[in-house]
Amino acid sequence: MSLRHIWAVTLKELRYIQRDRATLILVIFTPTLLLFMMAYAVTADIKHVPLGVLDLDRSMTSRKFLQQITLGESIDLYGQVNTLDDLEELLLKEAIHIAVVIPPEFERQLLALRGMPLQVIVDGTEPQTGGYALDQILRRAETFATDLLSSQLVAMGVDPDVLEPIDLHVRTWYNPNRKPKVDVIPGLLSMVLGLPGMTVALTLAREHEHGTLEQLLATPIKRAELLLGKMGPYVLSGVANVLVTSLVAMLWFKVPFNGNFLLFLVLSVIFFFALLSMNMLVGVFIKTQAGAMALSFLVVFLPGLFLTGIFFPLVSMPPIVRMEAMFLPGSHYAIITRGSFITGVGLDILWPYAVAMLVFGFLFTGVAAMFFRKKLA
């Protein structure tokens, strides 16, 4: 194994990438561009959900109630209708996502403390929006009822606190308002940084298609050196991308970085090594660039997008899938980016993930080199 040989291959690959300006720009800017777009799209807070109202009571209390549930930015009154059919039409047209039906006995029942007859209709096609709006309305309806009850209790000379006897203190660490951007942006970072490296799977197939592989093998460069050298440009551009995307996350999106940046950079290099090795392993079996592209898309890219815990927590996934996720460098790296940005933990906690990625890197490259040799013989 000679570093000089690896570097020679890296230089050759660099020259290939740089020959075409557009490819160079894409390799360098894809992660930053995607981070920008996705960060805005993914971390949007749900706000201004349109509400339809069918008020059959038309009383003081029902008006007060409507005022209470449309207070603030979460729910906006879209309009009042006169029949249930009108509500249905608005829901079908997606003009509203949620509706309340206030029956004629609303005020009478409430003031008599017999209950709160109220119907909420939710559009289930968008569970996130619908669930959020439903949550808001139920919470406000409860406050409305509790206020009414406690004023009644005060009139009876009872301390209204008895309605909620248990004090629940909830505190959220690291991210007190549970703002998605604080953890989703570091998560996205781990995903977008891996994208340019996906193309490394194509580089061996390219030599096959162009018929230049034999020339390469006639040189004294060993096979493992060839594979490592081909990864070189993507490690280099990856490091540059880590710097740029982290700066964007910190300065533009104001996500605090609490860890050790140098450590983060080193761990990122290990991640690139593991991910590139995985792509290389995919590429070794395929003779055409088209095939390599399809295979690395299905085997590396898709699982890396969905099964690394960026959008959906790993703990809630079925055990078999969780095991698959352990073999994806991205799931370890997602923990590292979050740890470095949010909790600011060091190597004492992150070392198992670094070791796992290193093992994958050597394992995948080793197996790739082995099959590469067999295939050529």
Partner 1 sequence: MIARIWSLIVKEFIHLRRDWWLPVFMVLGGASELLIVGWATSRPMTNLPLMVFDQDQSSISREVVTALENTTTFSLKEWALDFEDIEEAMDRGSINAALIIPPDFSKEMSSTNGDPALMVILNGAESVAATEALRAVEGVGRELSEQLAIQRLSFLQGSLEAFNPSVRVWFNEALSEALYTTPAELALMLEFTVLIFAALSFARERELGTLEQLLVMPFSTMEIILGKAIPALAIAFTDFVIMLGMIHFAFGVPIRGSLVLVLVLVIGYLCVELGKGLVISVSSKTQHQAFLLVLLIGMTDFMFTGYAAPVESMPQVLQWFANFIPAYHWLRILRGILLKGVGLEVLWPHVLALVILGVVIGYFSLRFVRRALS
| Residues of this chain, 50-69, that bind partner 1 according to CB under 8 A | none
Question: Rule CB under 8 A: is residue 176 a binding residue for partner 1?
Answer: yes
**How many whole angstroms separate alpha carbon 208 and alpha carbon 111?**
82
Q: Which is nearer to partner 1, 246 or 279 (CB)?
A: 279
DSSP letter at 287 equals S
Among 60, 154, 163, 370, binds partner 1 (CB under 8 A): 163
Among 155, 315, 374, 377, binds partner 1 (CB under 8 A): 315
- Report, in Å, the least distance between residue 256 CB and partner 1: 12
Q: Which is nearer to partner 1, 5 or 338 (CB)?
A: 338
Single-letter residue type at 375: K
Q: For residue 5, what are its two tokens? A: 């040989």
Measuring CA to CA, how many Å separate 261 from each of 201, 278, 326, 336?
Answer: 29, 26, 25, 11
Question: Rule CB under 8 A: is residue 370 a binding residue for partner 1?
Answer: no
What strand order describes the sheet that includes 75-80?
A: 75-80, 49-55, 98-102
Find all residues with CB under 8 Å of 163, minimum gap 6, and list them.
Answer: 146, 149, 150, 153
- Report, in Å, the least distance between residue 39 CB and partner 1: 10
| Interaction residues for partner 1, span 69-98 (CB under 8 A) | 91-93
- Report, in Å, the least distance between residue 1 CB and partner 1: 27
**How many whole angstroms separate alpha carbon 275 and alpha carbon 241?**
15
| Interaction residues for partner 1, span 324-343 (CB under 8 A) | 324, 335, 338-339, 342-343
Question: Rule CB under 8 A: is residue 179 a binding residue for partner 1?
Answer: yes
Question: Rule CB under 8 A: is residue 180 a binding residue for partner 1?
Answer: yes
Report angle CA 363, 369, 372 to the nearest 5 degrees. 135
- Report, in Å, the least distance between residue 3 CB and partner 1: 26
Among 15, 47, 58, 108, binds partner 1 (CB under 8 A): 47
DSSP letter at 157 equals T
Q: Which is nearer to partner 1, 3 or 113 (CB)?
A: 113
Among 22, 155, 218, 262, binds partner 1 (CB under 8 A): 22
- Report, in Å, the least distance between residue 151 CB and partner 1: 14
Among 9, 53, 307, 328, binds partner 1 (CB under 8 A): 307
# chain residues binding partner 1, by CB under 8 A: 112
Question: Rule CB under 8 A: is residue 263 a binding residue for partner 1?
Answer: no
**How many whole angstroms separate alpha carbon 186 and alpha carbon 338?**
6
Q: Which is nearer to partner 1, 20 or 214 (CB)?
A: 20
Backbone dihedral region of 314: left (phi > 0), alpha (psi from -120 to 50 degrees) or beta? alpha
Binding string, residues 214-233; x marks residues near partner 1 by CB under 8 A: --------------------
Among 41, 155, 251, 262, binds partner 1 (CB under 8 A): 41
- Report, in Å, the least distance between residue 329 CB and partner 1: 17
Q: How many residues does the chain have?
A: 377
Q: Which is nearer to partner 1, 1 or 177 (CB)?
A: 177
Can you state the angle between helices 289-296 and 261-284, rounded to 10 degrees? Answer: 130
- Report, in Å, the least distance between residue 83 CB and partner 1: 16
Burial of 120 by CB count in 10 Å (0-12 exposed, 13-18 middle, 19+ buried)?
middle
| Interaction residues for partner 1, span 113-152 (CB under 8 A) | 113-116, 118-131, 134-135, 137-138, 141-142, 145, 149
Task: State the Cα torsion 175-180-181-187 to the nearest 10°.
Answer: 100
Q: How far apart are the first and last CA of the chain?
A: 21
**How many whole angstroms separate alpha carbon 240 and alpha carbon 221?**
27
Q: Work out whether strand 75-80 and strand 98-102 pair parallel, antiparallel, or are unpaired.
A: unpaired
Question: Rule CB under 8 A: is residue 157 a binding residue for partner 1?
Answer: no
Region of 181-189, 228-236, 239-247, 355-363 interacting with partner 1 (CB under 8 A): 181-189
Single-letter residue type at 19: R
